[in-house]
Amino acid sequence: MFLKKILNKISFSWKIILTNTIIFCFFFMIILLFLFFQVKYVVKNSAEKEFKNTIQQIKYNFEDIKNDNFNFPNFIQIDIYDIRKTKIFSKNKFFNLSPPYYLDKIIYEEINDKTSNTKINILHYAELIEKEGKYFYIQISKNINYQSEFISKTIIFFITLLIITIIFSLLASTFSVKRNLKIITKIATEAKNINIDNLYMENSDYKKTNDEINFLYNSFNEMIYRLNISVSRQNEFISDASHELKTPLAIIKGYADMIRRWGYKDEKILKESLSSISSEVDNMSTLLENLLLLAKFDQSKLQADFKIQEIANDLIKIIENYKILEPQRNFNLSIIPKKLKYNRELINEVIRIIIDNAIKYNPDKKIPISILTNIDKKYYTIEISDGGKGLDESETKKIFERFYRVDKSRNKKLGGSGLGLSIAKEIINIHNGKIYAEQNIPKGLKLIIKLPL
């Protein structure tokens, strides 16, 4: 619990630094301990082999040894005891040692040298051997002060190396963590400055890399991009709605004033006013529906409804419905079957918008509306053309702008909000396609839709 409170008070950067340092030092300490015990093992194993070799020599040369006619290494002390542990022979007497109290095992012992008044580190090894029916204890001892000093220096070296490693690990972890968190801190600082009037995040100092920070940076940018689009659509909706609703509201208010002044007495003015008000309310309702449709377009959500399906069936079905609505209207069809990946509801809406415009601006029902399709390497193309009045070349690019009307007075009589082709363009953009207008020969306008294969 106490440790948890301390950790809660430590900053995130120091948690990472300490964690990295502890993990690194833990593995490094394991390596040092392995090396240390390996050194001890080598020293002990070397002494054990030396002792056993010496005892083998004693077994084979026992008589010569008792008569002191055999040379031993001058750094090994050899003591031989009888079965009652009475010393009967000693060679290279360096230490005053007790009779052996162990067998077949290396024993470490620290004794005091009375001559030099220093401590001596020695290793003992003893065996019981049989020679000519008699048993003898052979004890071999060796001064390992040099090896002990080497091991002590090794320990000091390893401890020093561990301290240096801890310091280096702390410095390296601090540099790495601070460098990376500096970028995150800067991103967070810039994110705090983002508001409805400043939906933009810039980090020119950030060098893009293929890591989690780059993923975080890109995720923030993508989120801000989506927010920017959403806010832009809302702003456009508010701006467009406030702009376009002024006229019908003014008309409704005008007719309401007429009813208040004269409508109660003049039945003709009352009927005319109510009819105009009803018409303007219908126009306002259509306008708001179209504006809401434009405002809620979300490419990622709409693309989720894309399915591979036969587009020719949809085109034919739409035309059949129009033949019922416009029985005197002629339609020329030339449709090539092809399966495409698209949103059926949205593409059908585009076709209906274009055909509605073709019917609206071509009052002569004897002039046919043509729907032709063709396929190239990249696109499935739909051409819808009428034989109406047509447009100047300069106006063909403007008709996809919101609320653009070629002839406002004429358009008002025909109805419509000037948003149809804007909606069509948004839908085609979601499909990564193209839509544009051309002059139709000999007259009229041709709308061309290109959907990717």
Count Cβ atoms within 10 A of the Cβ of residue 130 and give its class: 0-12 exposed, 13-18 middle, 19 or more buried: exposed
Residue 17 lies in a domain: no
Section 351-362 average pLDDT = 84
pLDDT at position 382 is 92
| Residue 320 and residue 417 share a domain | yes
**Domain end (from 233, 261, 295):** 295
Q: Give how many domains the chain has, as a whole number.
A: 2
Q: What does the alpha-carbon distance between residue 337 and residue 431 come to, in Å, rounded to a whole number?
A: 19
**Domain end (from 276, 295, 314):** 295
Residue 155 lies in a domain: no
| Residue 403 and residue 330 share a domain | yes
| Residue 412 and residue 327 share a domain | yes
Report whether 321 contacts 377 (CB < 8 A): no
pLDDT tier for residue 225 given thresholds of 50, 70 and 90: confident
| Residue 278 and residue 326 share a domain | no
Q: How confident is the model over 156-205, as pLDDT tens digits?
A: 887 888 788 778 877 877 777 777 777 777 777 777 777 666 666 555 45
Domain harbouring 312, CATH code:
3.30.565.10
| Residue 323 and residue 244 share a domain | no
pLDDT at position 231 is 74
Section 381-408 average pLDDT = 74
| Residue 405 and residue 386 share a domain | yes
Residue 83 lies in a domain: no
Residue 150 lies in a domain: no
Range with lowest mean pLDDT among 44-48, 82-86, 139-143:
44-48
Section 325-341 average pLDDT = 86
**Domain end (from 295, 320, 339):** 295
Range with lowest mean pLDDT among 12-21, 125-134, 260-269, 403-412:
403-412
Residue 334 bridge partners (DSSP) = 372
Q: What does the alpha-carbon distance between residue 104 and residue 140 come to, in Å, rounded to a whole number?
A: 11
Residue 378 lies in a domain: yes
Report whether 123 contacts 70 (CB < 8 A): no
Q: How confident is the model over 6-34, as pLDDT tens digits?
A: 656 666 667 777 777 778 778 878 887 88
Domain assignment of residue 365, given as a range = 306-452
Domain harbouring 227, CATH code:
1.10.287.130
Q: How confident is the model over 31-54, as pLDDT tens digits?
A: 878 877 887 777 778 877 877 887
Question: Percent of the chain beyond pLDDT 70?
Answer: 77
Q: Which of 364, 353, 369, 358 is nearest to 424 (CA)?
A: 353
pLDDT at position 409 is 44
pLDDT at position 118 is 74
| Residue 447 and residue 313 share a domain | yes
Residue ranges with strand state E in 114-164 = 118-131, 134-143
The count of C-alpha atoms lying within 13 angstroms of the C-alpha of 310, restricted to the half-sphere facing its C-beta, is: 7
With 80 as the cut, is the pLDDT of residue 140 above it? Answer: yes
- For residue 317, which amino acid is it? K
Q: How confident is the model over 298-323, as pLDDT tens digits?
A: 555 555 578 899 999 889 888 888 88
pTM equals 0.47
- The top-scoring range by mean pLDDT among 96-110, 277-291, 298-312, 396-410 is 96-110
| Residue 341 and residue 223 share a domain | no
| Residue 341 and residue 288 share a domain | no
More confident residue, 68 or 345: 345
pLDDT tier for residue 379 given thresholds of 50, 70 and 90: very high
pLDDT tier for residue 373 given thresholds of 50, 70 and 90: very high
Q: Which of 186, 405, 432 is nearest to 303 (CA)?
A: 432
With 50 as the cut, is the pLDDT of residue 410 above it? Answer: no
Mean pLDDT of the chain: 76
Q: How confident is the model over 413-437, as pLDDT tens digits?
A: 455 556 778 888 888 888 889 998 8
Q: What does the alpha-carbon distance between residue 33 and residue 36 come to, in Å, rounded to a whole number?
A: 5
- Looking up tokens 């698209």, which residue turns up? 342
Tokens read off for 355: 């055909």
Residue 327 lies in a domain: yes
pLDDT tier for residue 363 given thresholds of 50, 70 and 90: confident
Residue 385 bridge partners (DSSP) = 370, 446
With 80 as the cut, is the pLDDT of residue 74 above it? Answer: no
| Residue 437 and residue 360 share a domain | yes
pLDDT at position 368 is 85
Residues in the chain: 453
The alpha carbon dihedral of 268, 271, 275, 277 has a sign of: positive
| Residue 395 and residue 280 share a domain | no
With 80 as the cut, is the pLDDT of residue 269 above it? Answer: no
Section 254-280 average pLDDT = 73
pLDDT at position 450 is 92
Count Cβ atoms within 10 A of the Cβ of residue 256 and give its class: 0-12 exposed, 13-18 middle, 19 or more buried: middle
pLDDT at position 449 is 92
pLDDT at position 422 is 81
Q: How confident is the model over 104-139, as pLDDT tens digits?
A: 788 777 777 666 677 778 888 888 888 878 888 888
Residue 58 lies in a domain: no
Q: What does the alpha-carbon distance between residue 134 and residue 282 come to, in Å, rounded to a whole number?
A: 129
pLDDT at position 201 is 58
Residue 101 lies in a domain: no
CA 314 and chain centroid, separation: 40
Q: What does the alpha-carbon distance between residue 233 and residue 224 come to, in Å, rounded to a whole number?
A: 14
| Residue 434 and residue 341 share a domain | yes
- For residue 160, which amino acid is it? T
Angle at 312 between CA 310 and CA 314, to 5 degrees: 85
Range with lowest mean pLDDT among 125-129, 214-218, 373-377:
214-218
pLDDT at position 302 is 56
Section 430-449 average pLDDT = 84
Q: 3-state DSSP helix/strand/coil percent for the chain, to nearest 5? A: 55, 20, 25
pLDDT at position 380 is 93
